[in-house]
Structure 1
Amino acid sequence: MAASSGLLAGCATTQDTSRLQPGGPVAREYAAMYGAIDTEPFPIPAVDLSTIDTRFLRREVAFRTTEQPGTIVVDPGARYAYLVLERGRAMRYGVGVGKEEGFNFRGSAVIARKAEWPRWTPTPNMIRREPERYGKYAGGMPGGPENPLGPRALYLYRDGQDTYYRLHGTVEPATIGTMVSSGCVRLINQDIIDLYRRVPTGTKVVVLPSGGEATS
């Protein structure tokens, strides 16, 4: 999958807000990138690419930042997460972010834990805000195809403490590029698997305020 992830590797300085045209070479490449995965404990369906703006699909881009290669930079305002690469490049992923500005984590953290098919437990704040929706999951939901964290989760800690924010997959890929979550950063399942493979525990994550300075 790493080989195909650079299929649009030029200086992607413009944002294509169109949908993919069926049958074209780019559409075929993305269909392979976001195809069904049957090598996991649970099946991961192919992504319906007609529901996602092409600018939020994975690609390598030019990226100016003072962060070191290997750092993840999340720009909630632009709805992107960048994995900083060498020589002014980054792997860019479309994301969904908190539905209200106050829900979003800001600043620096580290990935202290990685999990495949993670268990999901709503935070106490989520249960307080929407008890009818989240109260029944207070004891947690095991990993699986209905779990909102999807097939992978990267857990953000600051000063040794869990922030309760994660980068994770989603059961709703059409929400990528929107403000919809309770503050976590969600990626297409195929993208969180790709990112998960690339980063070890201890990876630095920087979450910019909306309107941050990341440039691509």
Structure 2
Amino acid sequence: MFTRRTFLGAASAAAVSACTRTPEPQPAMAFQQTDAPPPEPVIPPLPARYGAITDEPFPVPAIPEGVVPENLWMQEVDSPFRGHAPGSIVIDPDAGFLHFMLQDGRALRYGVGTGAQGRGWHGEAVVQFAREWPRWKVPDEMIARRPDLEPYSVANGGMDGGPGNPLGARALYLFQNGQDTLYRIHGACEPEYLGQAVSSGCIRMLDQDVIDLNERVAHHAKVTVLPSLRPGPLPGVY
């Protein structure tokens, strides 16, 4: 039976229901994808020619993997200097390349370290002679910058060839008009500095590369060192 009490109870329930908001369905939480770590860079293995050399008077250590960029490895390329005769050398210090000219517009390209700003030499010269594991006779102008090198001056007979000698396994001596330029193409370039302009002026190569180049270069081969267009001074490494 519908009584007044029933009516009031129903009315109260309706009022409470009217004031209570039915919860709206919540959207499903979007799946949050975390970024995957980037893949490890693939380091191409060095050619076997950059391994250790054990049949020299002094050991030549292997070049560490992942230190020398692939573009600085010795490789045959189309020559960008077509006007130069086979057997000649062209060095581009800003690019960090030495090109040894071959036949038919081809060249062997080697990575090199070059002279820091203000210390590099440029021009045309010839390879007057070459030396295996040469003595290092420090020029007076370098001793003026580095007095600690005075024991290895020309007057004191220089430094014996071998490990620790900054000329490395080979040195090609550049002369211009019969005069020593005091600049060399030589080994002992630390792999991490290959392609950079950080030396005291000479053209530095990996020992494996300078040994190879020395076997190819003829007496009095022409060498052209292009001028550097690099702005600003750079720190020197001796």
Q: TM-score, normalised by structure 1?
A: 0.82
Q: Does 2:108 match 1:91?
A: yes
Q: Which amino acid aligns with 1:206?
A: T
* Cα deviation, residue 182, structure 1: 0.6
TM-superposition CA deviations, 1:38-65 (whole Å, max 9, x none): 1000010101131112111110011132
Which residue of structure 1 lines up, in the alignment, with residue 206 of structure 2?
188
Which residue of structure 1 lines up, in the alignment, with residue 43 of structure 2?
21
Which residue of structure 2 lines up, in the alignment, with residue 9 of structure 1?
none
Corresponding residue to 1:113 among 115, 129, 134: 129
Q: Residue 180 of structure 1: SS of its match in structure 2? A: strand
Q: Residue 167 of structure 1: SS of its match in structure 2? A: strand
Which residue of structure 2 lines up, in the alignment, with residue 5 of structure 1?
none
Q: Residue 113 of structure 2: SS of its match in structure 1? A: strand
Structure 1 CA distance for aligned equivalents of residues 129 and 53 of structure 2: 24
Q: Residue 223 of structure 2: SS of its match in structure 1? A: strand
Which residue of structure 2 lines up, in the alignment, with residue 141 of structure 1?
159
* Cα deviation, residue 121, structure 1: 1.2
| 1:21-40 paired onto structure 2 within 5 Å | 21=43, 27=45, 30-40=46-56
- Check whether the contact 2:87–2:218 (CA below 8 A) recurs between aligned residues: no
Q: Residue 67 of structure 1: SS of its match in structure 2? A: coil
- Check whether the contact 1:20–1:49 (CA below 8 A) recurs between aligned residues: no
Q: Which amino acid aligns with 1:44?
A: V
Structure 2 CA distance for aligned equivalents of residues 107 and 147 of structure 1: 26
Structure 1 CA distance for aligned equivalents of residues 159 and 119 of structure 2: 22
Number of corresponding residues: 186
Q: TM-score, normalised by structure 2?
A: 0.75
* Cα deviation, residue 181, structure 1: 0.7
Which residue of structure 2 lines up, in the alignment, with residue 8 of structure 1?
none
Structure 2 CA distance for aligned equivalents of residues 185 and 82 of structure 1: 12
Q: Which amino acid aligns with 2:86?
A: P
| Percent identity (aligned) | 48
More relative contact order in 1 or in 2 (CA 8 Å, sep 6+)? 1
Q: Does 2:179 match 1:161?
A: yes
Which residue of structure 2 lines up, in the alignment, with residue 208 of structure 1?
226
Q: Residue 91 of structure 1: SS of its match in structure 2? A: strand
Structure 2 CA distance for aligned equivalents of residues 211 and 57 of structure 1: 24
Gaps of 5+ in 1: 1-18
* Cα deviation, residue 31, structure 1: 3.6
* Cα deviation, residue 136, structure 1: 2.7
